[in-house]
Structures are given as structure tokens and as C-alpha cells.
């Protein structure tokens, strides 16, 4: 059958959809085309990729700093979290106690928090100049809501800061609109590929782009699909039009190795869980409330992001952030900070968050 015959067999466009709309343009194309992006010329610049790495590594350091894997409670047996046990416990005990925010110590409460208030999924917002706006975590458990994802919380936070006339820069002002009416200069850095909820909120907020550290199989590349189908705004005089949805950028595109490491480690975790469940092997389980309790086997990505394996990857990113150096020259817009200045700001922000920051609270230097 010819391509023209295939096209003739397509159902008609839905009512209200024009052939010239993005959906109309993709109507007769394979699904694979929906997750293909046109070339991103900005990533041809090593300076731009270095800048993305600064903030992506800062995000990893923040996730490691506020790590809490107690999604089944702080007491029990987590075979995949042996390194997160509190020290000094009897190895033959019926249950163990596990640390909450692992990095708490010299500067804060040395006991740490053990209450699990949300997944180890976080995001960071940065304006077009290179100044950090804020960071946030997923707080589904705390609010008993599936609408408290990190990116959604972050966008709501930015608009709140703008409405309070905060001095964080969220983009150039629009005529007769408040400064935070849209976030066209804002980049979101997220530890996990954004879902439909967060992609939609970022689209409504007009976020420029989103850099992610790990793929989420349950997101079905929705950020790519939305970017392609959302269309473009009318170009301003003597300017280029911009997308009506955030452009997704995976960590490997900016020269970081963590995307494939997290992806492959998660695949391995799923395989181990499935194999252990088939054998009813408690030693390979995710959780047991006691040594004699029925083992719990899970393949959820949020549970993988509680394990020692995932934590070690984020700790490596945190170490890379601490040892990072950045260039001082700037081939970008004159109003944009140099990467060295961005790195210095990122380091100061981490120092602040290390002492004053908590999951889900507004942060300002």
C-alpha cells in the first residue's frame, strides 16, 4: 500500500482542528515524530551546556542534601537501603531504624528528620540572567495529593513571589501585566522527566525550557509531545517566535552521564524486584515491616529513588558540583551572568539551603 493510500485511510480531523494546526500537521505522521525535536542551536555552545551543568549539578546536590527514603516509614527492613540505616544497631534486630534527611549533621539537627513528606524528586528554577529563583520537592505524601509535584509547586511559587513584588527576576515585564505574568526566560531543572501535570503547568506559565536528569517511563515523553503540539506564538517585530510549551532537554545533551546511569539502574532495580518476587526472596524485597512479615516487592520509580543505588548517583553529582569550575568569559548576551558568576551564586545558594532551607519552603538569599 502506498503512503497516499495510508493517508486516505486516516480518520478525518476532529471538529475544530485545522489542517494547519500542529495536530493537523502531525495527523498523518508516525507517533515517533511526536517526540522528535528540531535542532536546538543553543546547545551547540559549550558555554550554554556548561551553564546547564552548573544548575543540574546544584539540583543533584540539593536532592542528596534533603534525601529521605522512608516512604514505608522509618522503621522496618529495607534491603535496598542498608547504607541508610542509623549507625550502631544490632544486625540481628527484628527491625532497623533508617535516617531521614541524610545530610543533616554538623550545621543542623544531628538526628535528622525521618518523616517522609514527599518523593526524592526536586526541581530548581533559574531566570534568564542566571540567578536562582527557588527550589522545591515533590510533596504528594505531605498533602495527600497527586497534584503536589515539584515542578507544579515551583511554578505556583514563582507566581506567588512575583505577586508579592519579590525582587527575583522572572522575565522582562509585559505591557499592562505583572512581572510574573509569564516565565519566558525561566529554565526549570528537574530530577525526573516531567509528567503531563507539570508539563501542562509549565506550558501555562510559558516556561522556556526544562532540563531533566532521568526519564520517567510513566510520562510517555509527554513533554516532547506537548512541545510539538502546543504551537508557536506570533513572532514579535524583528524577533523569533517562541514555543508555547517548555522545550525538554535531557541531561546527556548537556554532557552529564547521570541520565543513562539513573535509567539503567532503574531498569536493573525493576528486574531485581521481579526476580525476587518470583522466588519470594525476602532478601531481594523492597520492604518488610519485620523479619517475619510478608515481603513487599515494588517497581515504582519513586521507590527506586529511595535506594542506596539512586542516592549514590546523586551524591556523585553533588561531589561534582562541589569540585566544579566554570569559565569567566561570556559569549552570551551582555545582560547574562558569566558561568563563573552563576557557579558562585549556585554555591552560595547551596550554603544557604544547607542551613536554612527545608523541603517546600520559600527560599531567598
Decide the pairing of beta strands 96-97 and 75-76. antiparallel
**Which residue has better confidence, 174 or 73?**
73
Q: What is the mean pLDDT of residues 215-223?
A: 95
Q: Which three cell numbers, joined as nine digits, stand for 12?
A: 478525518
Q: What is the mean pLDDT of residues 164-189?
A: 66
**What pLDDT sits at residue 158?**
85
Whether residue 26 is predicted with pLDDT greater than 80 in this model: the reply is yes
Cα separation of 196 and 191, whole Å?
15
Cβ-contact 180, 163 below 8 angstroms: yes
**Which residue has better confidence, 246 or 112?**
246
- What mean pLDDT is reported for the chain? 87
Least confidently predicted of 29-43, 85-99, 139-153? 139-153
Highest mean pLDDT among 103-117, 127-141, 172-186: 127-141
Whether residue 174 is predicted with pLDDT greater than 70 in this model: the reply is no
Whether residue 133 is predicted with pLDDT greater than 70 in this model: the reply is yes
The full set of domains in the chain, from first to last, is 34-73+100-259+329-356 (3.40.140.10)
Highest mean pLDDT among 4-8, 99-103, 111-115: 99-103
Q: What is the mean pLDDT of residues 75-91?
A: 95
Whether residue 108 is predicted with pLDDT greater than 60 in this model: the reply is no
**What pLDDT sits at residue 141?**
73
Whether residue 179 is predicted with pLDDT greater than 60 in this model: the reply is no
**What pLDDT sits at residue 119?**
92
Whether residue 94 is predicted with pLDDT greater than 80 in this model: the reply is yes
Instruction: Work out the pLDDT band at 106, boundaries 50, 70, 90.
Output: very low
Whether residue 169 is predicted with pLDDT greater than 80 in this model: the reply is no
pLDDT digits (tens, 9 = 90+) for 276-319: 999 999 999 999 999 999 999 999 999 999 999 999 999 999 99
Whether residue 61 is predicted with pLDDT greater than 70 in this model: the reply is yes
Q: What is the mean pLDDT of residues 144-163?
A: 81
Q: What is the mean pLDDT of residues 206-219?
A: 96
**What pLDDT sits at residue 167?**
47
**What pLDDT sits at residue 365?**
41
Whether residue 77 is predicted with pLDDT greater than 60 in this model: the reply is yes
**Which residue has better confidence, 175 or 278?**
278
Whether residue 59 is predicted with pLDDT greater than 70 in this model: the reply is yes
**Which residue has better confidence, 102 or 196?**
196
pLDDT digits (tens, 9 = 90+) for 352-362: 888 877 665 55
Q: Which three cell numbers, joined as nine digits, stand for 263?
A: 535509567
Cα separation of 248 and 52, whole Å?
13
Amino acid at each position: 500500500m502506498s503512503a497516499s493510500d495510508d493517508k486516505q485511510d486516516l480518520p478525518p480531523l476532529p471538529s475544530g482542528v485545522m489542517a494547519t494546526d500542529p495536530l493537523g500537521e502531525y495527523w498523518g505522521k508516525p507517533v515517533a515524530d511526536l517526540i522528535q525535536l528540531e535542532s536546538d542551536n543553543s546547545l551547540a555552545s559549550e558555554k550554554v551546556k556548561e551553564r546547564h551543568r552548573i544548575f543540574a549539578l546544584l539540583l543533584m546536590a540539593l536532592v542528596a542534601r534533603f534525601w529521605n527514603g522512608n516512604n514505608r516509614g522509618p522503621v522496618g527492613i529495607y534491603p535496598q537501603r542498608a547504607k541508610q540505616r542509623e549507625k550502631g544497631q544490632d544486625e540481628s534486630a527484628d527491625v532497623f531504624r533508617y535516617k531521614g534527611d541524610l545530610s543533616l549533621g554538623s550545621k543542623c539537627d544531628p538526628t535528622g528528620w525521618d518523616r517522609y513528606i514527599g518523593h526524592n524528586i526536586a526541581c530548581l528554577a533559574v531566570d534568564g540572567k542566571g540567578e536562582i529563583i527557588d527550589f522545591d520537592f515533590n510533596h504528594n505524601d505531605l498533602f495527600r495529593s497527586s497534584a503536589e509535584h515539584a515542578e507544579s509547586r515551583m511554578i505556583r511559587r514563582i507566581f506567588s513571589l512575583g505577586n508579592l513584588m519579590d525582587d527575583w527576576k522572572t522575565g522582562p515585564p509585559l505591557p499592562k501585566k505583572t512581572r510574573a505574568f509569564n516565565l519566558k526566560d525561566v529554565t526549570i531543572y528537574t530530577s525526573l522527566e516531567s509528567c503531563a501535570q507539570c508539563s501542562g503547568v509549565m506550558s501555562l506559565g510559558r516556561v522556556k525550557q526544562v532540563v531533566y536528569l532521568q526519564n520517567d517511563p510513566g510520562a510517555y515523553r509527554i513533554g516532547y509531545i506537548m512541545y510539538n503540539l502546543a504551537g508557536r506564538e506570533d513572532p514579535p517585530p524583528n524577533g523569533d517566535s517562541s514555543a508555547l510549551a517548555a522545550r525538554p532537554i535531557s541531561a546527556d545533551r548537556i554532557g552529564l552521564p547521570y541520565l543513562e546511569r539513573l535509567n539503567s539502574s532503574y531498569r536493573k532495580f525493576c528486574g531485581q524486584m521481579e526476580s525476587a518476587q518470583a522466588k519470594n526472596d525476602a532478601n531481594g524485597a523492597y520492604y518488610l515491616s519485620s523479619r517475619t512479615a510478608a515481603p513487599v516487592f515494588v517497581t515504582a520509580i519513586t521507590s527506586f529513588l529511595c535506594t542506596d543505588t539512586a542516592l549514590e548517583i546523586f551524591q556523585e553529582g553533588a561531589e561534582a558540583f562541589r569540585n566544579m569550575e566554570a569559565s569567566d568569559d561570556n559569549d552570551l548576551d551582555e545582560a547574562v551572568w558569566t558561568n563563573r558568576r552563576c557557579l558562585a551564586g549556585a554555591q552560595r545558594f547551596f550554603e544557604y539551603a544547607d542551613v536554612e532551607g527545608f523541603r517546600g519552603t520559600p527560599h531567598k538569599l
